[in-house]
Every structure is written in C-alpha cells, then in structure tokens.
Structure 1
C-alpha cells in the first residue's frame, strides 16, 4: 500500500510570503505542492519549474471549488483590502466542503484584545477557521522588515532618508522570509503545529534606531524623517490602494506614534524551536538587502 502524499495549496503564491513559503517547500518530497494563481499567464513561471498550478481568484467564487479539489492542507493569504473578510469566508466554506484538513492562516500582529481594526479582522478569520473545525496554525507576524523596501508600491527609503509615520516609537519586527519559514513548517508538520497561534516578532527598533543600524552596516549616513500619518493616507490614495483598509493602517500608525498600542514592542522566543535556526535581526536584514538601501 502506498502512503497518501498530502497535497499542499499555497494561495498568494505570486506574492512575497506565499512565494517564499513555496520556495521553502520545493525540495520536500513528502508533499505535493500546488501554487494558486489568478491567470494562466501567472501560472507559466511555476509550470516552467514543474510546479503544479490551479486558477484561484478570491473574487471569483466559481474558481474556489475546482482549485480546492484534492487539497489536504492550505496556506491562506489575502490582500490588503476589507474584502479579505468575505474572501476568507468563501474560501474556508469551500475548503471545508472539499475536505481540506489543515489551514495555515497569515494574519496580523496584536494581542487577542486588539482594537486595531485590520488586526481584529484577521482575528475574526482565525475564529472562523476554528469554528469551521479545521486543524489550524495561526501566524501573527509583527511589522514586516520588507516594509522598508516598499509598501504597496511606495518606496520608504530614498537616498539615505527613511520617511515613515510612527514617530520615535520602538516596536517589534520580523523578516517576511522568516514568516514563510514558519508557514512551511506548519504545512509540513500539521500535527506538531496544530492549535498554535504563533506570534512572530524578534527585534524591537524604532525607525531612528534602524537608520543608525543602516549607517553602521552600510557605512553611509542614513536618517529618519518622521511624517504625519496623514501623508501616508494621501500616498495610499494616490497609489490607488483600498482606502477602508488603509484608513485602519492610518489609525495603527497614529496610535503607534502616540505609544497607545499595548504590546507593540513584544518579542517571542518560538522561532528556533519551530525552524531550527535563528531569526533574522535588523543587522542581518540590512546586510542581505544592502543593494536596495545603498545610494
């Protein structure tokens, strides 16, 4: 009798966390990997590498059932819009009907009692996953270090100047690649990681601290020029972002700058146990992305 090889679906496969999770799982022979993409054009690069793809568009519910057929485990990654609530529910309802066993959900930061709106939306999704009866692993990353490379297409560091919106408040950070490493482990070993909510944040720095680290690591002067969160809102509007979601981020930045978010500077010691390696710290991240920051 041949053992069933579990099939693992990666949503957001063309994005950062989904793509990194996929790359972390590529060499693993114990699973069959499937990348969810929105169009045949987006499928081609995966198929060129011999990775199976399915067409899945969260806004086209008719794509969900065919995409989820035969899937045992899934990574759920939604976009930065309020539609994530409707999309997640439709996806999870169909996943339940299709017999998906284990759900790994990419959520947002925060304690259970958070009132930052988009963090709370993700916690509603977490509860819905639990209520639906899946085996689950919830991922709650703190602020992504990658936000300093770009946020929704807008550049954060220009010619040695960081322009951001949280005053001089220090808070917790994680490298998106580390989040993907945890996601990969949860998908490979669901029994081991079932029922867990992993908060992922390993380095506490303010933007001023980060500018100092960049100066030291790159040997060029970097500085931080704090901006009003209102500037962020206008930038996002100009970039065509979804404003219901970005208004929540604006509130997040406003409260962060006023040091009104309890636990924003918490770090966690779960990473080495989950992945067998050390988490990336700001020095490592700056070194790794030096070509993006140097000027």
Structure 2
C-alpha cells in the first residue's frame, strides 16, 4: 500500500521543517503549510515539498490544504486563538476523511496551567481525541527542547556565557530532529499508536551548568552559566522578535523548570523504541548549532555581541501582566504550575511507560 500525502503545519518552524526533511528523505509526498512566502518557504520547495501559503484560521484555506491528504502533523501557532485554529483544522480533517493526526502538544498540558498556550494544548488534545476512531490521534509531549537552550549559541560562542533562567534544575532535552523522527514513525503506521501520548526526551538529564561544560568542549572555549533575571531575558527576547504571547507563557515554563517538572519522566526510551535509533546527545545537537553563522568568532562578531549584551538592560521590555489582562482570554479559577497540580503529577509519573494510553481526557 502506497504512503498517502502528509500535511505538515508550521512547516517553516523548528519541528515542522525537520519533519518535512525526514518525510522527503523517506520518499513521501509532503504538503508543507506555511504562513508566508519567504526564504524558508523557498527552501522547502527546493527540497521537493509542495508548499501551500495559508492561515490556520482561514476555514476555506484549510479545507483546500487538506484535500488529497491522508495524514497530518499539527503544530499550534503562537497565538491566543490557537484553539480556534485547531477546531478549524479538525473540521477540515473530518471533511477530508484523513486517517491520522500527530499533534505536537506539551508535557505541561493541563486545564489549570497559568499559560494560555498550555491550557489550549490540553483542550486541543481532547478535541483531536474526540475524532476517533475515524481519525487516529497521537500526541507528542516533549518538554523543553534542546533548541530552547541552544538558541543562545551566539552568546556562548562570542562571550563565553550561557544565559540561564532555571537554576540547578535539570532536563533531558530532545532535538528538533528526534521529535520529527518520532512523528514520522507514527505517521508511517498510525494505527498502533492511536490514542497514545509519547514524550520524546534526550538520553541524559542535564543542568545548565552541565550544558555549559558540554559547550566548552564543542566550542573549544570556556563557557560558563550565567543566571539571568527574567526581566533582563524578556528584554533580550523582545530584541530578537519574540512575541509577548510567547513570553507570557515562557515565564511560567521557567518556573515549572525550576520546580523540576521537566525532570519527571526523563530520560526515557521513546525515541529509540519508536525510531530504532538512540536519541541525540546534547553534544551532538550543540555541534550543529556551533556551525551556524552566529557562532563563528571574529573580532567584529565579539564586539557586536558585547555591544548587544551591554545595551540590553536599557531596551524596552514587555509588560506581561498587562498583556495577560488585555489578550481577552478568561482566567479559570485555581491556576497552578505543574508541580503544584496533583492531577498532573498523578498522570506524569517519574518513570512513564513508552506511551500512555489516552482515555476520556486522562493520560494513563
């Protein structure tokens, strides 16, 4: 039986672009959904993907994008209205009679989490589960990606510092590529994975001090961890174009990290069991980031990095408390972080099985 065409949303993003590359390498037909025709979209087309420019909130566009597709990958946009987009996506999937959806959810997903994106992830999981048995749904719930640490590779390479917000807490961060490989493994044969939730992790628990030591070896220069206050990080993130909505959730994820939520259930054997190969070690992932232009050292690049570092405290930041009030999202009673949520703890054990069976909205 031939492999049906795969629809990949957020195809220009981190896991989406990695999944497009993985699918094309396997010889599959891929329809790559992107928001705009930019250099990333042109790169996807050059690789052999069928690129479609569409807004996830546009019902007609989503119905067109879903035509002729057999299976799909869902990655929510960084948008307060992400749940509305998921509803449109689900309706289009039902109309197109696709076989399966693999969704990128969140390890922290809960109806009581302070971050709206995380509450939306929980609701989206329940929505997609309700499509069964006609459409098989499998959720991927990684924790903090390796990219969340390595997006700061420029500071490490140029200044010898790894900015940190998470204290001494630890995580087993997966690569974008390993998450994509797990998604591809499920898309290749969705039936055995229907109704399951998988958490891909890296192979080892690491603190940012240990990550800095690894970067020291990879970059061949001393790198040390520097703990930053959140207000300073928020200014730096705004300078890099991070939206207030993304930062509004990120500040809560930092607190979850500090409390140990991402150390639960990690590391595990999900990547190796589903893909047949061990997960990438942090050093291997870091070596790819070290090859990026921003990590190449010169006198000019070091000077630019120092200048950016010095002016960051003087730059404007976001008033995230005000943003939370004006974004219009209702705030349920009893909001709490993961490690204060007994329901979340009960379903996110320290040593989870390969995949949890999702039943009536509860991960077993």
**TM-score normalised to structure 2 length:** 0.71
Which secondary structure state, in structure 2, belongs to the residue aligned with residue 221 of structure 1?
Answer: coil
Answering whether residue 142 of structure 2 is matched by residue 146 of structure 1, we say: no
In structure 2, relative to structure 1, the CA distance for the partners of 1:70 and 1:254 (3 Å cut) is same
Tell which deviates more after alignment, 239-248 or 171-180: 239-248
Question: How far, CA to CA, are the matches of 1:279 and 1:246 in structure 2?
Answer: 28
Contact 1:217 1:283 in 2 (8 A): yes
Question: How far, CA to CA, are the matches of 1:262 and 1:38 in structure 2?
Answer: 31
1:122 matched residue in structure 2: 121
1:234 matched residue in structure 2: 235
Segments of 5+ residues of structure 1 without an aligned counterpart are: none
Which secondary structure state, in structure 2, belongs to the residue aligned with residue 26 of structure 1?
Answer: helix
Which secondary structure state, in structure 1, belongs to the residue aligned with residue 199 of structure 2?
Answer: strand
In structure 2, relative to structure 1, the CA distance for the partners of 1:68 and 1:17 (3 Å cut) is same
Query: Shift of the alpha carbon at 1:58?
Result: 1.3
- Alignment equivalent of 2:33, drawn from 33, 36, 55: 36
Q: How does 1:203-214 map to 2 (within 5 A)?
A: 203-214=204-215
- Alignment equivalent of 2:78, drawn from 76, 80, 84: 80
2:18 matched residue in structure 1: 20
Give the number of the structure whose alpha-carbon radius of gyration is greater: 2
Query: Shift of the alpha carbon at 1:237?
Result: 4.1
Contact 1:16 1:176 in 2 (8 A): yes
Contact 2:272 2:278 in 1 (8 A): yes
Answering whether residue 64 of structure 2 is matched by residue 63 of structure 1, we say: no
Equivalent residues, number: 289
Question: How far, CA to CA, are the matches of 2:171 and 2:48 in structure 1?
Answer: 41
Question: How far, CA to CA, are the matches of 1:49 and 1:294 in structure 2?
Answer: 26
Question: How far, CA to CA, are the matches of 1:233 and 1:220 in structure 2?
Answer: 27
Question: How far, CA to CA, are the matches of 1:284 and 1:4 in structure 2?
Answer: 34
1:165 matched residue in structure 2: 165
2:284 matched residue in structure 1: 284
Query: Shift of the alpha carbon at 1:267?
Result: 1.9
2:196 matched residue in structure 1: 196
CA RMSD, Structure 1 to Structure 2 (Å): 2.6
More strand by share: 1
Query: Shift of the alpha carbon at 1:168?
Result: 2.1
Question: How far, CA to CA, are the matches of 2:33 and 2:230 in structure 1?
Answer: 34
Question: How far, CA to CA, are the matches of 1:181 and 1:277 in structure 2?
Answer: 10
Which secondary structure state, in structure 2, belongs to the residue aligned with residue 209 of structure 1?
Answer: helix
Answering whether residue 104 of structure 2 is matched by residue 103 of structure 1, we say: no
**TM-score normalised to structure 1 length:** 0.86
Which secondary structure state, in structure 1, belongs to the residue aligned with residue 164 of structure 2?
Answer: coil
2:138 matched residue in structure 1: 137
Tell which deviates more after alignment, 265-274 or 154-163: 154-163
In structure 2, relative to structure 1, the CA distance for the partners of 1:145 and 1:43 (3 Å cut) is closer
Show CA shifts across 1:116-142 (max 9, x none): 523332121111100122201111112
1:176 matched residue in structure 2: 176
1:52 matched residue in structure 2: 50
Which secondary structure state, in structure 2, belongs to the residue aligned with residue 163 of structure 1?
Answer: strand
Segments of 5+ residues of structure 2 without an aligned counterpart are: 298-364
Which secondary structure state, in structure 2, belongs to the residue aligned with residue 59 of structure 1?
Answer: coil
Question: How far, CA to CA, are the matches of 1:109 and 1:197 in structure 2?
Answer: 10
Contact 1:204 1:265 in 2 (8 A): no
Contact 1:72 1:101 in 2 (8 A): yes
Query: Shift of the alpha carbon at 1:74?
Result: 0.3
Which secondary structure state, in structure 2, belongs to the residue aligned with residue 289 of structure 1?
Answer: helix
Question: How far, CA to CA, are the matches of 1:217 and 1:226 in structure 2?
Answer: 21
Which secondary structure state, in structure 1, belongs to the residue aligned with residue 269 of structure 2?
Answer: coil
Which secondary structure state, in structure 1, belongs to the residue aligned with residue 18 of structure 2?
Answer: helix
Question: How far, CA to CA, are the matches of 2:86 and 2:282 in structure 1?
Answer: 32
Query: Shift of the alpha carbon at 1:44?
Result: 4.2
